[in-house]
Structure 1
Amino acid sequence: MGPSTDSMSSTSQLKITRLPKLKDDGSNWINYQALAMNTLTAKGLRRHVVGTIKAPPELVARDSSFYLPGRLAPLSDDELEEHETKLDEYLQKQAQVREVIYQTVSEATFMRIKSAPMAQLMLQQLIAIFEGKGEMVQIDTLTRLQSLRCLEDGDVILHITEMKRLKEALDSMSAPIADAQFSAYIKASLPPEKFGALLTTKPKDILIDAGATRHFSPDRSSFLNFEEIPPVPIRAADGRTFSATGRGDIKV
């Protein structure tokens, strides 16, 4: 069971570098799965994860001697040593896979997967728990972003800050929103009076840090190098459309 930090590191021989902690809501499952698999592959543990490696057979003890299943003659000392060396190597690598997973899941998830007899089955249990859960979180977050509305007496800055937080959450889930679409969501979320107020405010007061690389500005004179473009329709979340008619850099 890992510590509460967002990035794990191990002091054992197996180094875990910047592997994120798997969130219980599955919101970072896609990234976690890719990064965890890359870490395990880099450490030579891929076969233990996908299940293409076989464990050494379990020995049968009889009369102070050890036998391979189905073999009548006991193992010699050298054969026994060779078998135990292979078994140790197998168990160590199984434990290394478990360490990566144990260090990067919550206690609740650990309790659900700890009884898996093999590393491959442990990963299969993780997939069964989290596959699809991350997608549902993405859909829920996007729906919240699209449906968010600023009340007529609401604080525009706080409202846009919350929209930016939801956008960044989607970015972290590998589901980024295009700048133009995010700008459309902002416009659709504001009452006409508030958006109109933005259009009549001085240029220095109407720039909004929305987390996008493109911003609204109705004042053409504030651009340093304004370039007219054919009107580009942008559809808002509520079905309304508006057009971008130019582009350029603006002096803040």
Structure 2
Amino acid sequence: MSSSSTKLREDFLRIPKLTADGENWMTYKDRLLWSIDACGFLSHLDGTEKKPVDPSMLLGRGALWTPTTSDEIRELAVYRTAMKEWCMGKAIMKQQIAGTIPDSLFIQVKNLATAGEIFTYLSNLFEKHSQVMSVELLRKLQDQKCPEKGNI
């Protein structure tokens, strides 16, 4: 990868930190999603990227299954490659989220298995909070009045 494309990828992955109270959740979430989508990893957050299925678990093969035919050997090689790619994407996304949240939130999500689980946890934590904040800001805006002979 050239240095310019490496720089471009680093810029895509640069996201402002989420505040501990989630005050900036709505913009954080959108910027995270845009950044991850630009890098081709959005499926790790939206649940469409599934962990590859181990061929030894298919069709009653036991855990001690050993491939014997050329098709089975090829199937196992494809699985290992897919698994490596899936694990790398999962790790990149988990690190991306971990690097943009405060330690207090990291402690809460560090044992979750996938980036999708982490993102769902954070969404559940802050979505309602963000809606309440939006309503409160709208109420404050509606209560604003221009003083008598004031300059708008």
TM-score interval, normalised by the smaller of the two chains: 0.7 to 0.9
Residue of structure 2 aligned with 1:70, choices 59, 64, 83: 59
- Structure 1 residue 68: deviation in Å? 3.6
Which residue number in structure 2 is paired with residue 123 of structure 1? 119
Higher helix share: 2
- Structure 1 residue 91: deviation in Å? 0.8
Which residue number in structure 2 is paired with residue 211 of structure 1? none
Which residue number in structure 1 is paired with residue 3 of structure 2? none
Which residue number in structure 1 is paired with residue 37 of structure 2? 41
- Structure 1 residue 118: deviation in Å? 2.0
Q: Deviations over 1:108-152 (max 9, x none)?
A: 101111222222111100101111223445566788xx6xxxxxx
2:145 is equivalent to residue 242 of structure 1: no
Higher strand share: 1
- Structure 1 residue 79: deviation in Å? 2.6
Which residue number in structure 2 is paired with residue 108 of structure 1? 104
- Structure 1 residue 102: deviation in Å? 0.4
Which residue number in structure 2 is paired with residue 32 of structure 1? 28
Residues 2-21 of structure 1: pairs in structure 2 closer than 5 A: 15=10, 16-21=12-17
Q: Deviations over 1:59-108 (max 9, x none)?
A: 5xxxxxxx243254743433322210000001111111111100000111
Given residue 130 of structure 1, which amino acid in structure 2 is its aligned partner? F
Once residues 103 and 112 of structure 2 are traced to their aligned partners in structure 1, the CA distance between those partners, rounded to angstroms, is 15
Is the CA contact 1:25–1:137 (under 8 Å) kept in the aligned structure 2?
A: no
2:62 is equivalent to residue 83 of structure 1: no
Secondary structure at the aligned position of 1:31 is classed as helix
Is the CA contact 1:26–1:137 (under 8 Å) kept in the aligned structure 2?
A: no
RMSD of aligned alpha carbons: 3.3
Once residues 33 and 137 of structure 2 are traced to their aligned partners in structure 1, the CA distance between those partners, rounded to angstroms, is 26
2:83 is equivalent to residue 94 of structure 1: no
Secondary structure at the aligned position of 1:83 is classed as helix
Which residue number in structure 1 is paired with residue 46 of structure 2? 50
- Greater relative CO (CA pairs within 8 A, separation 6+): 2
Q: Identity of counterpart residues, as a percentage?
A: 23
* Alignment: residue pair count: 138
Given residue 113 of structure 1, which amino acid in structure 2 is its aligned partner? V
* Larger of the two Rg values belongs to structure: 1
Relative distance call for 1:58 and 1:79 in structure 2 (3 A) is: closer
